[in-house]
Amino acid sequence: MTSAGTPSPLPASPHLRARKGGHRSWILAVAAGVVVLLAAVSAAIVASGSGGGRATGTTAGTAGTGAGGTTAGGAAGTSAGQAAAAVVTPAPCKTGTCWVAVNVATLWVSPSYPRAVDKPALANPADPGRWVSSMSVSQKLWLVGKLETQALYGTQVTVIGHSGTAWTKVAVPSQPTNRDKRGYPGWVPTRQLTSTAPRMAGTTAVVTSRTAWLWSKWTSGGVAGSHVLRLSYDTRLHVVHTTSVYVEVTMIGGRNVALRRSVVALHAAGTSWGATRAKVVAEAKKFRGLQYLWAGTSGFGYDCSGFTYSVYHALGVTLPRDADRQAVRGTAVARSSLLPGDLVFYRGSPGGTIGHVGMYVGGGNMIDAPQTGVAVRIEPVSSYAYYAGARRFLSR
């Protein structure tokens, strides 16, 4: 998707814009009371990991929703006894700086656009999995030009407007764009936001599977109890304690929960996240077969630039959110010198703007999120007619 809403470079597909366009405004702000209700029901089910970062190629290994805090020791069981005093009901978002309080918040061009089928994406807790799976291809195509982007649990946002009490317009600082220096803009239901900040210091757990469940309990044998919240790839959480089978983390509001150790990467504050070309390609390949979603930046569905943005961001490297801006960052690379991990770009017409991006994986092939109705796949770099160059963001 491009920040200017250019058409997709895919032949015979007017909907394949590399990553949606750059229009829209006005955010949803669903009643603060819903946030309070949600928190009361599940003790702070607030969600959505950190987004991206800033300048292309910058290392975000020291940024993101951190972890840290005290080690809970080797004791098995729940954290209820340990953390009860620290748990608070996440406060409603009104002005200034807030954070995403659901697993995936979808930002809209206008609060007037959502349909009945979109209800799972507007609730708190949100259910992006049910939302995406319930839509037909035509219903997904309808989203083109109506969605801005998505932000994950715990992502910081800046409030820039309101539409009544139900919708809030925000900018996402971790998703750089030329559209707004404050970050990627869009409207989101107010109930999906909180003014309670997540913990930001110490060790960070980053979800590395497409999606991962938070569990209510854990034992020496691993996670236990019931599901609390299904998180997306690249969501970041504060770490309390780790073992070889589970990681205890803190949600917004202070509730301690657990994830399987196998679904996260751990990064100590101030250390490099070790991004390499081989690693970024390996991460990208995890999503083969995942259906395209316009404006998507989560493991429930990606658009083309949301895909490249998220895979790099999960390794601590922040790219611009849209394809046309990714195409002017990093280092230019000749087509004959492509290396795995380089991003390749396409125009929608010979003289058109950048409308699509893929990631080179070697052997003349790339992996990309092509268009609505088509899953993430590996295909030849020559698949699209109007090749527009390549950029490198990693030196090794």
* Per-residue pLDDT, 199: 87
Strand order in the sheet with 211-219: 222-232, 211-219, 256-260, 246-250, 236-242, 203-207, 264-268
More confident residue, 171 or 87: 171
The hierarchical CATH code for the domain 203-268 is: 2.30.30.40
Nearest in space to 96 (alpha carbons), one of 1, 173, 152: 173
Q: Which residue has the tokens 């690249």?
A: 234
More confident residue, 94 or 86: 94
Mean residue pLDDT of the chain comes to 84
Which top CATH class is 277-392? alpha beta
Nearest in space to 82 (alpha carbons), one of 219, 254, 201, 213: 254
Compute the distance between CA of residue 134 and CA of residue 120 in angstroms, rounded to an integer.
Answer: 10
Task: Say if residue 329's pLDDT is above 70.
Answer: yes
- Beta carbons within 10 angstroms of residue 74's beta carbon: 8
Compute the distance between CA of residue 36 and CA of residue 89 in angstroms, rounded to an integer.
Answer: 7
pLDDT band at residue 201 using 50, 70 and 90 as cut-offs: confident
Task: Say if residue 390's pLDDT is above 80.
Answer: yes
* Per-residue pLDDT, 1: 62
The amino acid present at 272, given as its one-letter code, is S
- Chain Cα centroid distance, residue 87: 26
Segments of the chain assigned to CATH 2.30.30.40 = 203-268
Tell me what the mean pLDDT of segment 385-395 comes to: 97
Tell me what the mean pLDDT of segment 239-262 comes to: 97
Tell me what the mean pLDDT of segment 302-321 comes to: 98
> By mean pLDDT, which of 86-100, 163-177, 281-295 is the weakest?
86-100
* Per-residue pLDDT, 86: 61
* Per-residue pLDDT, 87: 85
- Beta carbons within 10 angstroms of residue 40's beta carbon: 11
Segments of the chain assigned to CATH 3.90.1720.10 = 277-392
Tell me what the mean pLDDT of segment 337-362 comes to: 96
pLDDT band at residue 2 using 50, 70 and 90 as cut-offs: low
Nearest in space to 128 (alpha carbons), one of 118, 138, 136: 118
Structure tokens given for 235: 């969501």
Q: pLDDT tens, 19-51? A: 443 333 333 333 334 333 333 334 333 333 333
Compute the distance between CA of residue 285 and CA of residue 207 in angstroms, rounded to an integer.
Answer: 16
* Per-residue pLDDT, 349: 93
* Per-residue pLDDT, 382: 96
